[in-house]
Structure 1
Amino acid sequence: MSRSPNASPTASPLHPLERRLLVHLRDTALLPAGSRGVVCVSGGGDSVALLRLLHALRERLGVAPRVLHFNHGLRPEADDEARWVCALAATLGVPCEVRVASHLAGHSGVQAAAAAWRRETCRGLLAAQGLDWAATAHQRDDHLESLLLGLLRGRHIANLRGIAAESPPFVRPLLPFTHAELLDYLRARGQGWLEDPSNRSPAYLRNRVRHELRPLLEALSGGALARRLSALERQSGELRALLGTLPEPAQSDPARPPHWIDAPALAALPRIAATGALARFIQARLPGAVLYEQLECAADLLAGGAPTWEVQLPGGRRLTRMRDRIELARVPDA
């Protein structure tokens, strides 16, 4: 759906979704009164809804949002979308900035590279302008899809979680709300949005989860998929909290290679705790997907007591035991 951005700003009384968001933000203090930040607006329905909602609540919350748009330079429509977002911001009387990427076209792993660029750009802009937060429009459906992706990617059971509401400086105010609720809100406000055709491309795993896997699981679960996944996420959190009460093996400073963790201390832990500690150790130093199968392999070798061994990890990494240490390193290029 695409309409003119020149919708009139929201007036009182509050829409029911605005009231719900106001209660949520007051309960969570995600956006403290007096704080300033940017709303990341792509032009899609979720981000436009986030902008309209925060704009409607700005005086009640005591915040001053502005707009940040990322032009990835990957599609012919990108420049038009940037102009559309800027026009919407102007209609609302909100400052708007556009950042353009020039390095993503032809990049292998373009989605990951684009996400990294957005995060780095956000942090730089916040620091340069003395702003407090960057609000993104991740919503409940995104959260559930992330849980499913975690299952598909073999994530450790103690690390099975969706999208965090806050990972400073990023905040995600819309996690309690569904995509459908946000679009209904925009329709009620007479506000248009843009559709990105790449969001339906089967080339991306998340899109296949969204359009193929999730509808099937919803049908098979009798509409209880969200409740089942939320319960599984809570169980994961309870296990994570329990494992957090156990001693953490000695290990190197994450910021300074070489990276190592104490092998005898790891071996002394219960197996589920050892694999969890190993997963945290790896993620803190070389972020990326770590399959539980690799953690199991390392745990088997650790239990076997051999003084030296090696386990290959995804992304050109490996674990190597050298007597009392297990070291993590990238595999040298051939």
Structure 2
Amino acid sequence: MGPVGPHPAVADVRRVVREALSDLDRGALVLAACSGGADSLALAAALGFVAPRAGLRGGLLTVDHGLQDGSAERAAEVAALAGKLGLDPAEVLTVRVGTAGGPEAAARDARYAALAAAADRLGAAAVLLGHTRDDQAETVLLGLARGSGPRSLSGMAAASGRYRRPFLELSRATTVAACEALGLTPWNDPHNEDVRYTRVRVRAAILPLLERELGPGVTEALARTARLARDDADALDEWADMAYQNCALSDIDGIVTLTVAGLEGLPGAVRRRVLRRAAIAAGAPSGALSATHVLAVERLVTAWHGQKGVDLPGGRTAVRRYGTLILAISPIP
């Protein structure tokens, strides 16, 4: 009898990590962001196996958010696993979580800022994140609930800048099975069971309800929707980039001027993207700029009857004058 291969779940996590890193140069440093949960623990283990065989260096980062008693000790335990997994360097990143945007958003912002700073300091070519197909499905449902359009429905990208998410095609059950097969004991964050968090309610109640009422396969279908929506959104964004160049009369020092005639000839989906980009270029904060704001600016193009300007976040205004749309700090002279 020939040699027995790895457990199927272990083979799966190693395969997708290998594929995610296939374009990197030999000797490049790749860091796994690891909280100690099943997803990120399976990710770190897969990186520790794949990196040396691909001629890469693998390391580990874990973030201590300081939100629970004993968080520093748990972060140190996760970092100590790096040697067992074949990962070096390994660092604990301690952050202070603010309040902007609510607890989930504030923790996420602090985490990503710390990961980016560490990646820059260590010269990493990529940072791996352990989001799974289940996480993607939750993200799509949250985007649908916000009504924020196809870009939101497109969920998380498999690759975005330095960040890569190899597990988006794998289920959470696969990462749990991989950890079990490798003899790794994940840490279950109590926050993942706290129904005060919207994502937890989606995970614990909404998705199981959909699976019961609509039949199995809802999670896979939502993840597939994300892939299709991302392709569409990418195409529309590329079109909007070209349209912006054609419509923009000026874009200097936070004063953006667009030709109304050029905007009128665009499909609505493209025009609204151009207007959103113009508002941000004028200084409106992207996080505060809603679809309602963009629709109000669009009415200056499509439903013009001499109305006053539109107030935008960040003290910006959009006004129409003599066949041009001007977006700048308020008030516009």
SS of structure 2 residue aligned to 1:216:
helix
SS of structure 1 residue aligned to 2:169:
coil
Q: Which residue of 2 aligns with 1:98?
A: 92
- When residues 283 and 223 of structure 1 are mapped into structure 2, their CA distance, relative to the original with a 3 A threshold, is farther
SS of structure 2 residue aligned to 1:42:
coil
Distance across 1 between alignment mates of 2:152 and 2:15: 29
Displacement of 1:86 in angstroms is 2.2
1:215 is the counterpart of 2:215:
no
- Pairing 1:1-334 to 2, within 5 Å after superposition: 13-29=5-21, 32=24, 34=26, 35-94=28-87, 95-101=89-95, 103-104=96-97, 109-157=102-150, 160-237=153-230, 239-240=232-233, 243=236, 244-245=238-239, 247-249=242-244, 250-251=247-248, 257-258=254-255, 261-281=258-278, 286-288=285-287, 291-311=290-310, 320-323=318-321, 324-327=324-327
Distance across 1 between alignment mates of 2:156 and 2:218: 17
Displacement of 1:125 in angstroms is 2.0
In the comparison of the two structures, how many residue pairs are matched? 318
Distance across 2 between alignment mates of 1:300 and 1:273: 14
- Kept in 2, the 8 Å contact 1:261–1:326? The answer is yes
In structure 1, give the amino acid aligned to 2:226: E
Aligned-pair RMSD on alpha carbons?
3.2
- Kept in 2, the 8 Å contact 1:36–1:133? The answer is yes
Query: TM-score w.r.t. structure 2 length?
Result: 0.81
More helix per residue: 1 or 2?
A: 2
- Kept in 2, the 8 Å contact 1:135–1:170? The answer is yes
Displacement of 1:161 in angstroms is 0.4
Query: TM-score w.r.t. structure 1 length?
Result: 0.81
Distance across 2 between alignment mates of 1:46 and 1:254: 44
Distance across 2 between alignment mates of 1:179 and 1:119: 22
- When residues 193 and 235 of structure 1 are mapped into structure 2, their CA distance, relative to the original with a 3 A threshold, is closer
SS of structure 1 residue aligned to 2:93:
strand
What 5-or-longer segments of structure 2 have no aligned partner? none
- Kept in 2, the 8 Å contact 1:18–1:57? The answer is no
Distance across 1 between alignment mates of 2:56 and 2:188: 28
- Kept in 1, the 8 Å contact 2:133–2:220? The answer is no
- Kept in 2, the 8 Å contact 1:159–1:240? The answer is no
Displacement of 1:230 in angstroms is 4.2
Displacement of 1:16 in angstroms is 2.1
- Kept in 1, the 8 Å contact 2:61–2:79? The answer is no
- When residues 28 and 49 of structure 1 are mapped into structure 2, their CA distance, relative to the original with a 3 A threshold, is closer
- Kept in 1, the 8 Å contact 2:51–2:57? The answer is yes
Distance across 1 between alignment mates of 2:177 and 2:252: 46
Displacement of 1:97 in angstroms is 0.7
SS of structure 1 residue aligned to 2:16:
helix
CA deviation vs aligned residue, 1:139-186 (integer Å, no higher than 9, x gap): 111111111111111112365301101111111111111111101111
Question: Highest relative contact order (Cα 8 Å, sep 6+), 1 or 2?
Answer: 1
